[in-house]
């Protein structure tokens, strides 16, 4: 289900004018989305090397791998206007959020490869990415992001700072008790918290229609007196406009906002997923609204860029991604003794 | 100042640190009017008000997670887990995040969080409100495990916890709190008015002796001391060691004592199997096997839930008499 039909060019110009976005902003967003896409495609390629027959422990990148290919607009649109000292708590599917928050591509790739030069010196891995400098963290435990972001929001309020904290989660995670608990407390205490639900329709393999009592989560947010919005997660502009309002509310001390973005992942829940739960037709249908192509078409139609400019941005993104992957491959592994260090501060 | 029991001593330690460090906030159920029910936050609300002493909804998972988030941006949350038995409702945030984020982040995110929780039975509160469970925390890497048994220790260990950059769990035994609505088996003693620290990883010899070593924590220390008095009357000299902290653990003191007496009884109010008693026994045998005269003995809750009915409860929690009997058996060996 597409939430909003593609606007006409006139309508689109009006929307963009009203949003305060300049052509350059949209080009930046395009570049970020493309960077995320290339990064994940590249990770995916390397991940599967040496994994035939499929075995998670073999190959250069070990363990599970959850990619967000298709969900780029949610991360880029919602985090386009945040500051470096705002907090983002992400999930087991964290790469797009990390890149959108400004996490260094090289350190990110190196961590995913388990290298000493990684964000966490190889101790975290793909589901446990931390970057103190960029105020980014995530967790491999479903539903864990809500209270942690609320805690950061609580601290901002206590310290009289005008920062906001973001919790990202999937629509499956939002069935967890922490979602309701956090909405309640953040609303009661007017915390500068922004919850972004990425509804990609499946909790691992389970369609949301089988396990959700309401059609959408924003309905639940409203029940807790939290302003809650449904946005088109395949439209970076739509995500941006609503999140900008949420961030302003948070900074002014008005309390939390819930944003539910309808989106789709074009790849499995994890790499190696047989995708028995959905049809090829469905994936094909959603690929018609690929958020990157959609933005590309708009940029061209609005004359914000010509295809040469966009090709140049794509080329830059590809080069940065390649440099990051090369850096990760060439970096050394941590020494085994490192495993016994750093349990306590 | 004379303080009776550990509850007032802990709240006194928190109060003094809160005056020194405005990054400390107290979160949990009933922490204002009721002082976290078992008194660990008594008096703080009157002094610091709602900005810093904050009643949460009954949502362990969420307020533990909020502690993690708040610590990651510079606060030092003190979180009350009313009964340790409720950890099931909040444990994911504790063991998968609070205890691991520092390590997983490669040292980027210290977690200066102090959790205070009430442990123990002996007053008829049955299976879901009488457990000790500290071995679970001690088993998981990343928590410091603190078990004060006296007012002096409670204050000094609490202040130490509030100056530590790691998650520290303080386990306060309900029968040592000194609250009027509970039995009291602890002590009243003179506690310095000024703030002071007690180092973690330093056990204390509560009573010196030469015939047998009895090792325990919290309430079991006091019961062991009473059993030692009974033994003393029979001319048996028992040494009683209070571990004070399980993580870090003071191996030196227990091994020195085991070598001296050659006979060791470990007493625990937590469950028997895969717990503290087995761990301490392993450490002793690995470094003092040749000096042991008899196999190490232990008393603990014998792998059953704590039952309600008084004779049943008394049958499973080590008592002065059962400690005395077990010590005698060991000496007869």
Which chain A residue's Cα is nearest to B58? A181
Q: What is the pLDDT of residues A1-13, one digit of tens each?
A: 556 788 999 999 9
Write down the pLDDT at residue A2. 57
**Is residue B220 located within the same domain as residue B285?**
yes
Strand B2-4, strand A257-262: pairing: unpaired
Kindly state the average pLDDT of the residues A149-154: 98
Total structural domains in chain A? 1
Write down the pLDDT at residue A324. 98
Q: Judge whether B222 counts as a catalytic residue.
A: no
Kindly state the average pLDDT of the residues A194-218: 95
Instruction: Tell me the nearest-neighbour CA distance from A301 into chain B, angstroms.
Output: 44
* Cβ-based contacts of B63 with chain A (< 8 Å): 147, 185
Helix extents (H) in chain B: 6-20, 44-52, 60-72, 91, 101-104, 134-139, 151-162, 218-233, 251-261, 276-288, 310-316, 320-332
pTM over 0.80: yes
Instruction: Please give the ipTM for the structure prediction.
Output: 0.90
A-B contacts (CB, under 8 Å): 142
**Can you say whether the dihedral through the CA atoms of A270, A275, A278, A284 is positive or negative?**
positive
Report which of A323, A297, A224, A178 is spatially closest to residue B90, judged by C-alpha positions.
Answer: A178
**Which tokens sit at B28?**
């949990």
Q: Give the C-alpha separation, B109 to B165, whole Å.
A: 10
Domain-embedded: residue A3? no
Q: Which residues of B touch A (CB under 8 A)?
A: 25, 51, 56-57, 59, 61-75, 77, 92-93, 96-97, 101-112, 141-142, 144, 165-166
Q: Give the C-alpha separation, B92 to B114, whole Å.
A: 16
Cα A11 vs. chain centroid, distance in angstroms?
Answer: 27
Domain-embedded: residue A344? no
Domain-embedded: residue B195? no
User: CB A147 to CB B92 under 8 A?
Assistant: no
Tally Cβ neighbours within 10 Å of residue A199: 25
Write down the pLDDT at residue B333. 79
Which chain A residue's Cα is nearest to B141? A343
Instruction: Tell me the nearest-neighbour CA distance from A189 into chain B, angstroms.
Output: 10
**Which tokens sit at B164?**
């530590």
Q: What is the pLDDT of residues A19-50, one digit of tens each?
A: 999 999 999 999 999 999 999 999 999 999 99
Judged by DSSP in three states, A67 sits in coil
Q: Between B57, B69, B141, which is nearest A148 by CB?
A: B69
Query: What CATH code is carried by the domain that includes residue A218?
Result: 3.40.50.970
Q: Give the C-alpha separation, B200 to A187, whole Å.
A: 39
**Is residue B181 located within the same domain as residue B216?**
no
Partners of B245 in beta bridges: B146
Domain-embedded: residue A262? yes
Write down the pLDDT at residue B90. 87
Domain span at A50: 9-327
Q: Give the C-alpha separation, A127 to B207, whole Å.
A: 50
Write down the pLDDT at residue A81. 87
Judged by DSSP in three states, A5 sits in coil
**Is residue B184 located within the same domain as residue B239?**
no
Average pLDDT, chain A: 96
**Is residue B46 located within the same domain as residue B110?**
yes
Domain span at B214: 204-332
Cα angle A322, A326, A327; round to 5: 115
**Which tokens sit at A58?**
């073999």
User: CB B62 to CB A185 under 8 A?
Assistant: yes
**Is residue B170 located within the same domain as residue B208?**
no
Residues in chain B: 333
User: CB B73 to CB A152 under 8 A?
Assistant: yes
User: CB A141 to CB B96 under 8 A?
Assistant: yes
**Is residue B141 located within the same domain as residue B74?**
yes
Last residue of a domain, which of B190, B213, B244? B190
**Which tokens sit at A237?**
């502009």
B76, B129, B173, B222: which is the annotated catalytic residue? B129
Write down the pLDDT at residue B183. 97
Q: Between B62, B103, B112, which is nearest A178 by CB?
A: B62
User: CB A181 to CB B108 under 8 A?
Assistant: no
- Is residue B159 pLDDT above 90, yes or no? yes
Q: What is the pLDDT of residues B221-263, one digit of tens each?
A: 999 999 999 999 999 999 999 999 999 999 999 999 999 999 9
């Amino acid at each position: 289900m597409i939430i909003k039909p593609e606007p006409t060019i006139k309508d689109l110009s009006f929307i963009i004018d009203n949003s305060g976005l300049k052509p350059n902003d949209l080009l930046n967003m395009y570049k970020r989305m493309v960077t995320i896409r290339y990064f994940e495609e590249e990770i995916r390629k390397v991940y599967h090397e040496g994994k035939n027959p499929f075995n998670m422990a073999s190959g250069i990148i070990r363990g599970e791998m959850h990619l967000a290919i298709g969900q780029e607009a949610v991360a880029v649109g919602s985090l386009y206007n945040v500051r470096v000292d705002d907090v983002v708590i992400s999930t087991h599917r964290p790469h797009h959020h990390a890149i959108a928050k400004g996490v260094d591509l090289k350190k990110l790739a190196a961590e995913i490869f388990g290298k000493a030069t990684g964000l966490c010196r190889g101790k975290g891995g793909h589901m446990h990415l931390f970057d103190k400098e960029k105020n980014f963290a995530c967790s491999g435990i479903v539903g864990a992001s809500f209270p942690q972001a609320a805690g950061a929001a609580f601290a901002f309020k206590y310290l009289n700072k005008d920062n906001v904290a973001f919790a990202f989660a999937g629509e499956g995670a939002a069935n967890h008790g922490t979602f309701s608990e956090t909405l309640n407390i953040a609303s009661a205490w007017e915390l500068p918290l922004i919850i972004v639900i990425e509804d990609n329709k499946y909790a691992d393999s389970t369609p949301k229609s089988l396990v959700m009592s309401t059609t959408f989560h924003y309905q639940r947010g409203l029940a807790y007196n939290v302003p809650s919005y449904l946005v088109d997660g395949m439209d970076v502009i739509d995500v941006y406009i609503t999140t900008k309002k949420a961030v302003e509310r948070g900074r002014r001390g008005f309390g939390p906002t819930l944003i539910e973005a309808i989106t789709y992942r074009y790849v499995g829940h994890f790499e190696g997923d047989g995708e028995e739960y959905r049809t090829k037709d469905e994936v094909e249908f959603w690929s018609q609204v690929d958020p990157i192509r959609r933005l590309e078409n708009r940029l061209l139609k609005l004359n914000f860029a010509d295809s040469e400019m966009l090709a140049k941005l794509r080329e830059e993104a590809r080069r940065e991604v390649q440099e990051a992957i090369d850096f990760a491959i060439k970096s050394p592994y941590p020494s085994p003794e490192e495993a016994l260090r750093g349990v306590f501060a | 100042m004379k303080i009776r029991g550990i509850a007032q001593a802990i709240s006194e330690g928190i109060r003094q640190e809160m005056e020194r460090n405005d990054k400390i906030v107290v979160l949990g159920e009933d922490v204002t009017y009721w002082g976290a029910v078992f008194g660990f936050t008594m008096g703080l609300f009157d002094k610091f008000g709602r900005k810093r002493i904050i009643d949460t909804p009954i949502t362990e998972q969420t307020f533990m997670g909020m502690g993690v988030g708040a610590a990651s941006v510079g606060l030092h949350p003190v979180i009350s887990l009313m009964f340790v038995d409720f950890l099931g409702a909040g444990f994911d945030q504790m063991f998968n995040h609070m205890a691991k984020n520092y390590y997983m982040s490669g040292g980027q995110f210290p977690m200066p969080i102090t959790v205070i929780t009430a442990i123990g039975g002996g007053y008829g509160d049955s299976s879901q409100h009488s457990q000790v469970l500290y071995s679970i925390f001690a088993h998981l890497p990343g928590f410091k495990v603190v078990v004060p048994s006296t007012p002096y220790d409670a204050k000094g260990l609490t202040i130490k916890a509030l100056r530590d950059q790691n998650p520290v769990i303080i386990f306060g035994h309900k029968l040592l709190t000194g609250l009027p609505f509970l039995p009291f088996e602890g002590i009243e003693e003179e506690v310095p008015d000024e703030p002071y620290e007690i180092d973690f990883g330093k056990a204390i010899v509560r009573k010196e002796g030469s015939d047998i070593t009895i090792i325990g924590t919290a309430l079991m220390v006091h019961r062991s001391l009473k059993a030692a008095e009974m033994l003393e009357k029979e001319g048996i000299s028992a040494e009683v060691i209070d571990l004070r902290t399980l993580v870090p653990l003071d191996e030196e003191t227990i091994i020195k004592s085991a070598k001296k007496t050659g006979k060791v009884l470990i007493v625990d109010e937590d469950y028997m199997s895969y717990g503290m008693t087995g761990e301490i026994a392993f450490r002793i045998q690995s470094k003092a096997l040749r000096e042991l005269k008899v196999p190490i003995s232990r008393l603990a809750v014998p792998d059953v839930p704590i039952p309600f009915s008084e004779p049943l409860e008394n049958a499973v929690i080590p008592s002065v008499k059962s400690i005395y009997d077990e010590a005698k058996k060991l000496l007869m060996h």
